[in-house]
Structure 1
Amino acid sequence: MAARSLFLALTRNANKRVPFRSISSTSEAVHPEAIINTSHESEDEEEEKDDLKSRIFRLRLPKRSVTNVLQKWVDEGRKITASDLRSISIDLRRSHRYKHALEISEWMVSNEDEYQVSDSDYALRIDLMTKVFGVDAAERYFEGLPPSAKTSETYTALLHSYAALKLTEKAEQLFERIKGANLSLTAITYNELMTLYMSVGQLEKVSVIVQELKSKNVAPDLFMYNLWVSSCAAALNMDEVRRILDEMSIDLSCNESWIRYIKLAKIYITSSHLVNSDSNSLVESEKVITQRELITYDFLVILYGGLGNKVKLDQIWKSLRMTGQKMTGRNYVCILSSYLMLGHLKEVGEIIDEWKQSATSEFNGSLCDKLVEAFKENGLTDKATRFLVVLSEKGCDLTDELR
């Protein structure tokens, strides 16, 4: 069926892989001050507090200085621990107050002897500098680090910045430097490059990175498997998807969350059989899957399309468009396949119009051809025919084979 042939690319959103955000957190733009206000029971209670975190959060505007607040706290004879700073920084990043979080990072680095700055602190600073000043500033900061601070974490942080901005050439060059540095790597570094390849449509390179990871005896993680499965499914290689799922099940690292993922992934390659089945237990299991495991909206679109849940499908598609991320042909084909499977041709026509008019994603007739072929191959000839009619009505160019 079409759904099993069109389980498509997992990209950051996660912006973005780090931090990962849930569907609910990205479906609506939230002003930082709104987040701040909801973290306190009332404005009056907030004003009454006089701990360091409250003072910092009362700054509100980015132009106001966290450094001044920290210095005043110290001048009052109060102590600031590294744990305090890291905790406040986490809350600031959750509220998208990156400039203030960067000031805390600067304070820690400026007082390195006192706070024993870790590799993770340096890596976080690279990420924050990218968000506040741009990737060029982050790059200069990284290059200026002493050799002892150029670790797998800081290299990976810069690689993440390149990947998030889809700077493929820079990312590949940095990856070669990483390999030449003889560092002890984890799957996270490889995942960054795989995520980049997924986002720019270079699916064939994902498997190459997986093989390199294996050759270095680096332990795979669930995120790596998820990207690998997605790249093969997007290339319509469902036999390889099944093989990877089987490999996952015998991996010594396989745990309960992996097993849940395997069960859900198998929904996509058998989803037409679930439309009229009792699948409540599987739907319930989705609720406990983290956003790190269900990386993108495409993943959920195919799931709920297979389960026949149009209401949820509408919500997820709306959320995806509200993220502000650049839409790809794979995003459109994914939602088209789900609505087609459910027989909602009105929505299919609307999405085709939206795709054709999109300023960020050129209409790709070849992907529509693949969708038609996938429906036919899986015995859904009637839906394929109806889709062709809609394409024709919308003035889409068809190949000679599909006319």
Structure 2
Amino acid sequence: MAARSLLLTLTRNARRGKKVPFRSISSSIEAFEEGPIMRTHEDEFTEEERDDLKSRIFRLRLPKRSVTNVLQKWVSEGNNITVADLRSISRDLRRSHRYKHALEISEWMVNHDEYHLSDTDYAIRIDLMTKVFGIDAAERYFQALPSSAKTTETYTALLHSYAGLKLIEKAEELYERMKGENLPLTSITYNELMTLYMSVGQLEKVPLIIEELKRQNVAADLFTYNLWVSSCAAALNIDEVRRILDEMSTDSGCNKTWIRYVQLTKIYITSSHLVNSDFSSLVESEKGVITQRELISYDFLIILYGALGNKDKLDQIWKSLRMTRQKMTGRNYVCILSSYLMLGHLKEVGEIIDQWKQSATAEFNVAMCNKLLEALEEVGMTDKATSFRMILGEKDCEPMDDLR
């Protein structure tokens, strides 16, 4: 029976002949089984072995197909649905970018009194409403929440939505409202603000957020330091990077992960042309610590590998970043430009400028190139600045006259 089941499974999969997106594999093996098929008696038996609520929901390939109907049918068959089941399935759906179906699960929880929603449930719902219906719907939902549900977590969820959409004024107003409500703020709140300012190129506001964090006696986490260091590195403010590392090392919350992070950053600021297999393997081993949690982390990796002189890794990371579904920003282009300039790869610098000019999401910004030129000249890298200025001229992106 086991051999026959295996044969049937292999035959069925071969008959479909479909490739599975990586994100579907990572979220649920049942996603591979999506889609209508011709069934034999043996096929039905195999499906029954997998016939749980999650499997049924993940077989709904199209967003227009109703999760609510699946839930109702499951209950009508005499099955129970626990809140833990719903939260687990919702999490997997979000990981698969199936936000509409995840929102339907949230709706089910809201409409059934036996489920007691937590602050996290409300926060997730705000994020899902933003993704499915837009920020206006999320705002209306947040405003209609009872006062008991307007907590730090739900406020921060709305702040996250504003930051993702680069709605600076709304984000700043919401932050002031959070302070006015005397809510207990966390590092996540300030991380969202810093991510917002970095995404729009307002690096000068990041130190102000750090000052505010300290005034409010909020403990910084590793991601806070990541953002802070990345903003200074993107501006080539090396002295400030050193000062942050010193502060980070003395932080009472510093653990082994933080210490390794500090070590990696010191490699960057002290060895701009270091090529050493031991250090390269160290960076590779820590890649999991500072990789894809946020788009900002790509910038930091680009700077690190550029500092290590590892062009192959630099090329790979840049290619990987361009293949993601993230919208590129001017900051991303400046980071990769500065790294290639440091290594003297002028052909790649020209290619990056072309990519930036052709980008559908990040309008080419000559002012940011001017700032990079200024930074290079201020640290005495006049040859790099001259090369960069020449390339800009060749690409019809003339820098401002006062930088000549």
TM-score range (shorter-chain normalised) is 0.7 to 0.9
Q: CA deviation at 1:379?
A: 5.4
Structure 1 portions without partners, runs of 5+: 1-28
Identity in percent: 76
The answer on 1:85 being equivalent to 2:122 is no
Q: Which residue number in structure 2 is paired with residue 101 of structure 1?
A: 102
For residues 61-76 of structure 1, what are the structure 2 equivalents within 5 Å?
Answer: 61-76=62-77
8 A contact 1:166–1:200 mirrored in 2: yes
The one-letter code matched in structure 1 to 2:272 is: S
The one-letter code matched in structure 1 to 2:56 is: R
Q: CA deviation at 1:124?
A: 0.6
CA distance in 2, matches of 1:158, 1:293: 18
CA distance in 2, matches of 1:75, 1:277: 62
8 A contact 2:272–2:306 mirrored in 1: no
The one-letter code matched in structure 2 to 1:82 is: V
Q: Which residue number in structure 1 is paired with residue 146 of structure 2?
A: 146
Q: CA deviation at 1:280?
A: 3.0
Q: Which residue number in structure 1 is paired with residue 192 of structure 2?
A: 192
Q: Which residue number in structure 2 is paired with residue 10 of structure 1?
A: none
8 A contact 2:27–2:93 mirrored in 1: no
Q: Which residue number in structure 1 is paired with residue 254 of structure 2?
A: 254
The structure showing larger relative contact order (alpha-carbon pairs under 8 Å, at least 6 residues apart) is 1
- SS of residue in 2 equivalent to 1:279: helix
TM-score (norm 1): 0.84
C-alpha change, 1:303 and 1:47, in structure 2 (3 Å) is: farther
The answer on 1:386 being equivalent to 2:390 is no
Q: CA deviation at 1:324?
A: 4.5
CA distance in 1, matches of 2:251, 2:325: 37
CA distance in 2, matches of 1:280, 1:131: 39
The answer on 1:298 being equivalent to 2:281 is no
Q: CA deviation at 1:220?
A: 1.4
The answer on 1:222 being equivalent to 2:222 is yes
Q: CA deviation at 1:335?
A: 1.1
CA distance in 2, matches of 1:86, 1:103: 12
Structure 2 portions without partners, runs of 5+: 1-19, 35-42
- SS of residue in 2 equivalent to 1:54: helix
C-alpha change, 1:74 and 1:42, in structure 2 (3 Å) is: closer
CA distance in 2, matches of 1:394, 1:293: 31
Q: CA deviation at 1:392?
A: 2.8
Aligned CA RMSD, in angstroms, stands at 2.6
For residues 4-403 of structure 1, what are the structure 2 equivalents within 5 Å?
Answer: 30=21, 38-39=29-30, 48-112=49-113, 114-275=114-275, 278-291=278-291, 292=293, 295-376=296-377, 378=379, 380-400=381-401, 402-403=403-404
Q: CA deviation at 1:134?
A: 0.8
The one-letter code matched in structure 1 to 2:132 is: V
Deviates more, 1:114-123 or 1:285-294: 285-294
Higher Cα Rg, which structure: 2
Q: Deviations over 1:271-309 (max 9, x none)?
A: 414235741342233233153488432111112222222
The one-letter code matched in structure 2 to 1:298 is: D
- SS of residue in 2 equivalent to 1:192: helix
The one-letter code matched in structure 2 to 1:117 is: L
8 A contact 1:327–1:360 mirrored in 2: yes
- SS of residue in 1 equivalent to 2:351: helix
CA distance in 1, matches of 2:287, 2:22: 26
Q: Deviations over 1:222-258 (max 9, x none)?
A: 1112222222333333222211111111111111121
CA distance in 1, matches of 2:22, 2:334: 32
8 A contact 2:93–2:99 mirrored in 1: yes
- Give the number of equivalent residue pairs: 374
- SS of residue in 1 equivalent to 2:272: helix
- SS of residue in 2 equivalent to 1:96: coil
8 A contact 1:55–1:69 mirrored in 2: yes
CA distance in 2, matches of 1:312, 1:132: 36
CA distance in 2, matches of 1:56, 1:359: 35
Q: Deviations over 1:124-151 (max 9, x none)?
A: 1111111111111111111111111111
